[in-house]
Structure 1
């Protein structure tokens, strides 16, 4: 699912859902996590900077020192912190928050490494110790604006591995630029499809709240039994992208992958039909553009992959068509905008004798183009 920025204050946390950022072109103001984790009845949200963001419990409208929950945000773009998520095993590898040469690895602004050092012994310790571990909600940038994807609820440790294997202090960098940092292994829990409710967030924020009330069952199982008993998150549609047009993909990254895949098939279909520009006949294949008659942004999934919604054009004629300076009527005859002066018509080799062999399946798309894209004085 996708949640618009305006919906975030009431949105649940659903695995693989996309939470859109704002549109003010200001990274701090557009940050979706700050709005998503502003819980009704409480003052503080999470910060809008860094990959490690904690929210403290509150009492009578005042923040305490006790952590309610932690939001882990990864861009996947920082070389020194190559966070990764293996969806086949449900294992999330998160690097701590130190990358400053010469700095003591626990001495970081957000105290992320100190937090990691604290929770891993608790995870592998007795149940009473695990009950003090706050939930961790993992998000990753989608690469589109400020949008983020919710990867899931993470717990420290991995089934079948020891504490030392799942929290490793390593040295990174070269020569004088070396620094120490944690490499932490988490398991993403196989929580219920309904995800994380805002009611649970409220209980977590309340210093006197019942932190098990509304909690996912797998979270309670972790608290009671530790990493050895956790069921990792399994997501169908991990490595392969279904190319049918009716599948609603859970991940924005998968959606973008599907776009690239379907655009490739769309272009291949047009090339098989006629590997040259439909207007001028230019046949340098690598230069040809698979142009949508009804633009991609205005089409549904079926229309986006329908090769009848396409023309194969050279770059110049593609630009003219996409920008509405030319179109075609139901008989396939070219219609040239009055905005294209005679000199430019000659340069573009546009004349009224140009005609396309349109099929009946093309007509609705071309009518849409005539009405919504074509420019007239």
Structure 2
């Protein structure tokens, strides 16, 4: 099922449904999750930035220190955070919010601290599990700001010990090495009715002794922990999908339709200068027409605007698309501190690299520096 942006404040959370972003061309204003999780009768929603977003309980219009629920947003494309949903087993792997050297528990959003807390409680008593906030998982569809609801995640997996489901991993290289959590969740079977707005309101309340509107499987988790969970598997998902008579085109169909225009986009870039902007490699068959402002955040015009493009070889396209390099208004290369000096040398990256940018590209490149480039 598909919900338009102006419908989100009253929309239920249904598995596999798509929730459309706004059209103001502003990431903060167009974020669908902020509007979707604005619960009637309460002041605060969830944040509009980052992948780990918390919504605190409220009393008399004021936020408390208790977390009502958590929203996880993932693109599934982060190199350091390769979040993955395994539909065949109903399990979801989510990486914590640290990727800098130092104490992995001291992060800006305290995401790793929350992961440690909820996983320990999941493997404790029913009384402890009552303090675990539900986690609603969404993934970018690749079209504008649209997101897909993947389901409700609970910490832990049936038959697995705590040490197996909350692992400490190491990433980065050299002085940039960091530690982070790799957390294993179960996506529970919430049924075709999904998550009601009444449950969201219940979760936002300060003194709730029951989860009257909670899915049955959530209450099962609170009572019994991970050992008796019924995960959302592919068979469950097909049942849910078939429950609704949806005549709108799927997101994948829409993607295929829009991407038919990308041939012209690449052709225009090749006609201008058929070489990699960074290294000069001139094999057209290997060159990639890379969007400066990523395709998923563009409107239809921006997706085919050749000023929003750079021709890059596969290596430099990956570095640019991943936010490891960008360019200032003079065309000088900017390199993320996450790229070691050795890798900079191997990738032929240095601050003396300079490309030509026309005035129409500057606004796109500023967007890339602000929203894609890895500053920390």
TM-score bracket for the superposition, by shorter chain length: 0.5 to 0.7
Closer, same or farther in 2 for the Cα pair 1:250/1:217, shift >3 Å?
Answer: farther
Match of 2:159 in 1: 160
Cα deviation per residue 1:178-207 (whole Å; 9 max; x = unaligned)? 100000000000112110000000011010
Provide the residue aligned with 2:112 in structure 1.
113
Alignment-derived partner of residue 143 in structure 1: 142
Distance change (3 Å), C-alpha of 1:238 and 1:223: closer
2:93 is matched with which residue? 93
Q: 1:46 to 1:168 in 2, by over 3 A?
A: same
CA-CA distance at 1:77 after TM superposition: 2.0
Contact 2:22 2:30 in 1 (8 A): yes
Matched residue of 1:226: which SS?
Answer: helix
Q: SS at the partner of 2:234?
A: coil
**TM-score for the superposition, normalised by structure 2:** 0.64
Measure how far apart 1:209 and its partner are.
3.2
Residue number in structure 2 paired with 1:78:
78
Residue in 1 that maps onto 2:20: 20
* Residues 91 and 185 in structure 2, CA contact (< 8 A), matched pair in contact too: yes
Q: TM-score, normalising length from structure 1?
A: 0.64
1:170 CA displacement: 0.9
Shift of the 254–217 alpha-carbon distance from structure 1 to 2, 3 Å rule, reads farther
Check whether the contact 1:200–1:211 (CA below 8 A) recurs between aligned residues.
Answer: no
Equivalence for 2:124: 125
Q: Secondary structure at the match of 1:125?
A: coil
Deviation at residue 235 of structure 1 after TM alignment: 3.0
User: Using the alignment, how far apart are the partners of 1:21 and 1:187 within structure 2?
Assistant: 27
Deviation per CA, 1:136-187, whole angstroms, max 9, x where unpaired?
Answer: 0000000100000000000000111111000001111222221000000000
Q: Distance between the aligned counterparts of 2:128 and 2:212, measured in 1?
A: 19
Higher relative contact order (Cα pairs below 8 Å, separated by 6+ residues) = 2
Q: Report what 1:29 is aligned to.
A: 29
1:208, distance to aligned residue in structure 2 (A): 2.1
Distance 1:159 1:198 in 2: 29
TM-aligned CA deviation for residue 234 of structure 1: 1.9
Post-superposition shift, 1:61? 0.7
- Residue matched to 1:180: 179
- Separation (CA, whole Å) in 1 of partners of 2:43 and 2:237: 38
- Supply the distance in 1 between the matched residues of 2:249 and 2:165 (Cα, whole angstroms): 27
Partner of residue 327, structure 1? none
Does 2:196 align with 1:197? Answer: yes
User: CA separation of 1:124/1:258 partners in 2, compared to 1, >3 Å: closer, same or farther?
Assistant: farther
Query: CA–CA distance in 2 between the matches of 1:70 and 1:98?
Result: 17
Q: Which of the two has higher C-alpha Rg?
A: 1
Structure 1 pair 72–251 and aligned structure 2 pair: CA distance change class (3 A): farther
- The answer on whether the counterparts of 2:188 and 2:232 sit within 8 Å (CA) in structure 1 is yes
Tell me if structure 1 keeps the 8 A contact 2:143–2:255. no
**Conserved 8 A contact 1:46-1:54:** yes
Counterpart of 2:268?
Answer: none
- Work out the CA distance in 1 between the residues paired with 2:179 and 2:171: 6
1:185-334 to 2 correspondences below 5 Å = 185-236=184-235, 248=246, 252=250, 255=253
Could you tell me which runs of 5 or more consecutive residues in structure 1 were left unpaired when the two chains were aligned. 240-246, 264-377
Cα distance in 2 between the residues matched to 1:142 and 1:124: 33
Residues 170 and 23 of structure 1: CA distance in aligned 2, closer, same or farther (over 3 Å): same
What secondary structure does 2:15 align onto? coil
What is the total number of aligned residue pairs between the two structures? 255
- 1:370 counterpart residue number: none
Contact 1:16 1:251 in 2 (8 A): no
